[in-house]
Every structure is written in C-alpha cells, then in structure tokens.
Amino acid sequence: MSTRIDVVTLFPEMIREACRWGIPRIAQEKQLLELGLWNPRDYTDDRNRRVDDRPYGGGPGMVMQVQPVHAAIEAARGDGPVIYLSPQGRRFDQSAAKRFARLPHMVLLAGRYEGIDERLIEQDVDEEWSIGDYVLSGGEPAALVWIDAIARLLPGALGDGDSAEQDSFMDGLLDYPHYSRPEVIDGKAVPAVLLGGNHADIERWRHKQSLGRTWERRPDLLEQLQLSDEQKALLEEYIREQHTTDSDKGP
Ligand code: ADE
C-alpha cells in the first residue's frame, strides 16, 4: 500500500526540491510515497493570475482568495481529507503522524500571506493542523515537516525494518544517547555498558536513559504515560545515579 500526498501551494518548487533528499526521496523511489503539487495560480480566473486581495476590514497583508484555492483543491482532491496547515490548528505530533501515515491519500493546503479567506476553510477543509506554537511565513515548511514525519513511517521506507519503532516518541519517551567511534574523545569515554556486548544490559541502560531524559526535559510527556513497575524502578535508579554523580563532582 502506498500513500499519496497532494500539496496545494503557491511554491510547489519548495516542496518538490526538498523532497528530492533523504527519506522522502527514498520513499518516492520505492513507490511508497507519491507526491502531487497544485498551484492555485494555475487555476485562477483572474486575467493577471492574481490569487490574493486586500482584507475586508483593513489591516496589513493580503488574503488568499476562494476561487483559485478552491479550484486547485478540487483538482487535487481524492478520497482522503483536506488538511489546512496553520498556527490555529491542532498540534501535530507523533501520534498524529502515525494516524496519517495509515491513510492512502491526503491533501495538504499551505497558506501564504495573512491567511486564506475563511469561507474557503469552512467549505473545503476537513482538518486544521499546526506544527507548533510559532508563526511561519507560509505553510510550506509545515507541509515538509508533515511529509517527512509520514514518509519515514511508511513500512519499508527506513533501511532497518524496525528503526521507526525504536524512535524517540514512538513509545512516548525521548530518545537515549548514541555513541560511535572513537571510544574516548578528550577524556570523555563511551559508557562502559555499551562496549560490553551484553544486549539485555544495553537495552536496560537505554530504556533507563530514555526514562531519565524524559523526566528531566519533558515531564509533561511522562505525565501522559502509565509507567510499569519496572519502568518506575529504572527511573528511580536513574535519579539516584544522577544524585551520586552530582555530589561526586564536589563543591
Ligand atoms: N503556517 C504558518 N505557521 C504555521 C504553523 N505553525 N504550523 C502549520 N502551518 C503554519
């Protein structure tokens, strides 16, 4: 099964170019991901190919008009939802990415200027999503974030079959630290457990680091989880170890 993502955008090249790299490229080459790009400027009735106009009520900037955006959405439309990317939307996260990665089709609508005429959103948009609490100058970077997060979840897109499963956030926790050669840099050694070759010990250490980092950096994520007794014990061990290391450092 493959996923098709159609993007309605005034800057299709931005999406096309960025998706020529990394996992989105590989996913397309393996025909797991199909991208379609639709420019409202190609669908405008206006003689001068205009797609925007001044806002009623005044104020800065321009508003994207209903007619060209609606026509582009109609051209892009398939069986899946039409998703408008904007700071007013629901927050995109890993569980949303998992949900959308299971869909065969979706249309992403990337806005520019001050926004899109509200009547278009009421009429044509099924869901509104934001990639975070900040304002981008257009929806294209958000569409790229969306496409990347989904492409890497498509079965077969990542080289190692289960590496998406091992990701940060897949189980609601932050990632553990990673190390590669050399074994020592400027006196800083790789944790000994990773050199020992005992896979059960390594798993346990990594899980403890994930729990500990989430506790330190994103307690809000931890609150959403029901930790098992084993996980609680691991986290307590992490906290104890932090205290010992801190006091070892001396005043
Ligand atoms: N367009 C502008 N800002 C955005 C954001 N934070 N998320 C999604 N789309 C956007």
- Give the tens place of pLDDT for each residue, 11-34: 999 999 999 999 999 999 999 999
Nearest-CA residue for atom 5 of ligand 1: 87
**Using 50, 70 and 90 to split pLDDT, how confident is the model at 249?**
low
Residue 208 has pLDDT above 70, yes or no: yes
Catalytic residue (choose from 74, 127, 167, 237): 167
Q: Is residue 124 among the annotated active site residues?
A: no
Specify the range with the lowest mean pLDDT, choosing from 153-167, 170-184, 223-237: 153-167
Specify the range with the lowest mean pLDDT, choosing from 115-119, 168-172, 244-248: 244-248
Residue 171 has pLDDT above 90, yes or no: no
Q: State residue 248's pLDDT score.
A: 57
Nearest-CA residue for atom 10 of ligand 1: 86
> What percentage of the chain carries pLDDT values higher than 90?
90
**Using 50, 70 and 90 to split pLDDT, how confident is the model at 251?**
low
Q: State residue 59's pLDDT score.
A: 95
Q: State residue 244's pLDDT score.
A: 80
Cα–Cα distance list, 249 to 47, 242, 243, 245 (Å): 72, 11, 10, 7
For the stretch 55-88, pLDDT in tens is 999 999 999 999 999 999 999 999 999 999 999 9
Nearest-CA residue for atom 6 of ligand 1: 87
Domains of the chain, each with CATH number or no CATH: 3-151 (3.40.1280.10), 168-249 (1.10.1270.20)
Alpha carbon of 250 to ligand 1 centroid (Å): 46
Q: Tell me what the mean pLDDT of segment 236-241 comes to.
A: 98
Q: Is residue 114 among the annotated active site residues?
A: yes
Q: State residue 167's pLDDT score.
A: 73
Q: Is residue 177 among the annotated active site residues?
A: no
Alpha carbon of 233 to ligand 1 centroid (Å): 40
**Using 50, 70 and 90 to split pLDDT, how confident is the model at 1?**
confident
Residue 54 has pLDDT above 80, yes or no: yes
Pocket of ligand 1 (CB under 6 A): 85-87, 130-132, 134-136, 139, 142
Q: State residue 9's pLDDT score.
A: 98
Angle, CA 11 vertex, CA 15 and CA 58 arms, to 5°: 135
63 by DSSP, 3-state: which? strand
Q: State residue 162's pLDDT score.
A: 52
Alpha carbon of 136 to ligand 1 centroid (Å): 5
For the stretch 122-140, pLDDT in tens is 999 999 999 999 999 999 9
Catalytic residue (choose from 25, 87, 213, 237): 87
Residue 246 has pLDDT above 80, yes or no: no
pLDDT averaged over the chain?
A: 95
| Ranges of H-type helices in the chain | 12-18, 22-29, 66-76, 94-101, 118-124, 140-151, 199-217, 219-223, 229-248
Please enumerate in sequence order all residues whose Cβ is within 8 A of that of 109, keeping only pairs 6 or more positions apart, or say none: 7, 8, 69, 73, 82, 83, 84, 85, 116, 124, 125, 139
Q: Is residue 152 among the annotated active site residues?
A: yes
Alpha carbon of 19 to ligand 1 centroid (Å): 19
